[in-house]
Amino acid sequence: MTISKLQSYMLPDVQDMPVNKVNWVFQPERAALLIHDMQDYFVSFWDENCPMIKQVIVNISTLRQYCKEHDIPVYYTAQPGEQPEEDRALLNDMWGPGLTSYPEQQKIVDQLAPDVGDTVLVKWRYSAFHRSPLEKMLKDSGRNQLIITGVYAHIGCMTTATDAFMRDIKPFMVADALADFSREEHLMALRYVAGRSGRVVMTKELSPALFPDSKEALRALILQLLDGSDEPQDDENLIDYGLDSIRMMNLAARWKRIQGDIDFIMLVKKPTIDAWWKLLSRSRVDKL
């Protein structure tokens, strides 16, 4: 009745993406981010050192940072630690007492803890819209796009996406910022949403400024950070062209959210576009 121990699996990558039936354009000024059910209780079904869930948290953190930088509101859902029988109702038949047996695990995981100004919605059913002010808050703020991340892809996340669609809110399901009971169920959820109620995207599609997706994009980003008019070759030392340590530290902090092992020392050791692109284009943690 309760959730069994969950195993790591390879997160969806570009080649796993389903064909989207819609080609909605992401508009930051019309969007909001939903971090769905990322509570200690739901995440604890994976091992503490599970590389997959670590990468999901990194990807959600990346999107949250992007949203903070672009004035995109951030919403969380969280089940309460205490749920009266009449409120939990049929969830008891399907899942047992769930979180109510472990109220100390109610909080959002530390890495994604809400900031002042974020909104935490009380979660009662699979859909984040059920018995919550989410629809009104989105529409009152002129938002009609919802970025969906979190757990579990084929239950609450998929249901929320479909419910959003039925309320004329465009859901963007982020394939590599979700986790599920299994890879098969994860991919099923993506296929369902892509074909029936939303658009499925990757983290990098929504936050390209944080993580360049080509050497050309990296070069363009670096050129914006240089003081002089001279342009370095891809194998030339960027420090010689005015790239200082503060800017490198900022880049390291950004890129660490996608490539978890990148740090300032790694960048300063070989500060060239060639070397940095080699670091950025490696297989990510979820492929290990």
Q: What is the pLDDT of residues 265-287, one digit of tens each?
A: 999 999 999 999 999 888 544 33
- 8 Å CB contact between 262 and 279: yes
Which two structure tokens, joined as six digits, stand for 32? 């909001």
- The more confident residue out of 192 and 89 is 192
Q: Is the pLDDT of residue 101 over 90?
A: no
Q: How far apart are CA 124 and CA 121, in angstroms?
A: 9
CATH homologous superfamily for 215-282? Answer: ACP-like (1.10.1200.10)
Please give the residue that has the higher pLDDT: either 70 or 53: 53
Which of 149, 139, 211, 208 is closest to 174 using CA atoms? Answer: 149
**Residue 210: per-residue pLDDT:** 67
Tell me whether residue 123 is one of the annotated catalytic residues.
yes
Architecture of domain 14-206: 3-Layer(aba) Sandwich (3.40)
pLDDT of residue 185: 98
Q: How far, in Å, CA of 69 to CA of 72, rounded?
A: 8
Given its phi and psi angles, is residue 28 left (phi above 0), alpha (psi -120 to 50 degrees) or beta? alpha
User: What's the per-residue H, E or C state across 132-199?
Assistant: CCHHHHHHHCCCCEEEEEEECHHHHHHHHHHHHHHCCCEEEEEEEEEECCCHHHHHHHHHHHHHHCCE
Domain ranges (residues) in the chain: 14-206, 215-282
Query: Any catalytic annotation for residue 36?
Result: yes
Which is catalytic among the residues 5, 13, 36, 176?
Answer: 36
Q: Which of 13, 16, 21, 37 is labelled catalytic?
A: 37
Tokens 């050309």 sit at which residue? Answer: 216
Question: Is 154 an active-site residue?
Answer: no
Please name which of 201, 207, 179 lies closest in space to residue 51, comparing C-alpha atoms: 179
Catalytically annotated residue among 118, 123, 176, 286: 123
Amino acid at 188: M
Q: Is the pLDDT of residue 211 over 80?
A: no
> Taking all residues of the chain, what is their mean pLDDT, rounded to a whole number?
91
pLDDT at 208 (0 to 100)? 66
Pairing mode of beta strands 199-201, 74-78: unpaired
Q: From CA 280, how far away is CA 288, in angstroms rounded?
A: 16
